[in-house]
């Protein structure tokens, strides 16, 4: 865990789970505030400006998805959704709603601690340092002309990604991406046309929590599909004639070759 990770808010109606999550985050160095209802959780986030929020889906007043929507109106902090079900629909809905990660109950404290640590290794503010993760990009199999000038900036088919400022523009228009979406787009751009498997991209999103030899579940790969789907929607991709992201069936994704402007 990084030094002085800041503030965390735990939104959970089950007292035992709330105490467990609070204890895990306290031991990891956070100043922890907790809430037992969705509305109280939103207020806690507004008051304490946390770097991390853990959010139960099943709350007594408003559900976790609505809480997440309200949180996203005021902060881009990391959000981990907690669900009592292993239902794939819960997972996909959480990610589509803007969560950074999800954990199924019951969970091991060690797992939660590792996932939080992996998220915090990714930058929170423009210009923040980032630990490069995931396997190195192989030599491209197809010619894709992506330039990188200035340092940290990648350009491709009208899209500009600045890794140092964590910004993306498409034909001069700013694009608002989640951290996971940004990291996936950055990985595909810097791979310069080489295919990235869904397993590769899971490791990019999760950080060192998933080592190169670690097990990647079907749910993890489905989460990548959701993130890529969200990316395509925000980019305004034409599925019949994509400009940036190409699906390699049965494998993963790659960058569409450079087009003449």
Condensed to tens digits (0 to 9), the pLDDT of residues 159-200 reads: 999 988 889 999 889 998 888 889 899 999 998 889 999 988
- CATH code assigned at 85: 3.40.50.2300
Q: Is residue 79 part of a domain?
A: yes
Longest dimension (CA), the chain: 59
**Residue entry with tokens 């001069």:** 172
Residues 98 and 50 in one domain: yes
Predicted confidence (pLDDT) at residue 132 exceeds the cutoff of 70: no
Where is 220: in which H helix or E strand?
helix 218-235
pLDDT in tens, 229-256: 989 999 999 888 899 999 999 899 999 9
Residues 104 and 17 in one domain: yes
Residues 101 and 157 in one domain: no
Contacts of 241 (CB under 8 A, 6+ apart): none
Give the whole-angstrom CA distance, residue 190 versus residue 255.
Answer: 9
Q: Is residue 192 part of a domain?
A: yes
Give the whole-angstrom CA distance, residue 68 versus residue 55.
Answer: 8
- CATH code assigned at 210: 1.10.10.10
**Tally of domains within the chain:** 2
Alpha helices in 28-96 (DSSP H): 38-48, 64-72, 88-96
**How many other C-beta atoms can be found within 10 angstroms of the C-beta atom of residue 4?**
8
Q: Mutual orientation of helices 88-96 and 64-72 as an angle, nearest 10°?
A: 20
């Amino acid at each position: 865990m990084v030094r002085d990770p800041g503030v965390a808010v735990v939104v959970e109606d089950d007292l035992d789970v709330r105490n467990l999550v609070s204890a895990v985050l306290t031991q990891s160095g956070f100043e922890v505030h907790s809430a037992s209802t969705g509305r109280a959780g939103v207020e806690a986030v507004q008051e304490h400006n946390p770097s991390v929020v853990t959010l139960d889906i099943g709350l007594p007043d408003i559900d976790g998805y609505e809480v997440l929507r309200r949180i996203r109106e005021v902060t881009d902090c990391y959000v981990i959704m907690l669900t009592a079900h292993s239902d794939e629909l819960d997972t996909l809905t959480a990610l589509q709603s803007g969560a950074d990660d999800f954990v199924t109950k019951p969970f091991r404290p060690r797992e939660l601690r590792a996932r939080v640590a992996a998220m915090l290794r990714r930058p929170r503010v423009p210009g923040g340092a980032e630990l490069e993760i995931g396997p190195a990009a192989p030599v491209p199999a197809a010619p894709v002309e992506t330039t990188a000038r200035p340092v940290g900036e990648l350009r491709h088919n009208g899209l500009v990604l600045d890794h140092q400022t964590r910004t993306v523009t498409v034909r001069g228009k700013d694009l608002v991406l989640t951290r996971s979406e940004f990291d996936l787009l950055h990985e595909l751009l810097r791979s310069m046309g080489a295919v990235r498997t869904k397993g590769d991209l899971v490791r990019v999103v999760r950080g060192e929590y998933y080592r190169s030899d670690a097990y990647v579940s079907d749910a993890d790969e489905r989460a990548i599909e959701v993130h890529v789907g969200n990316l395509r929607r925000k980019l305004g991709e034409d599925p019949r004639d994509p400009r940036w992201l190409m699906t390699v069936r049965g494998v993963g994704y790659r960058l569409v070759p450079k087009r003449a402007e």
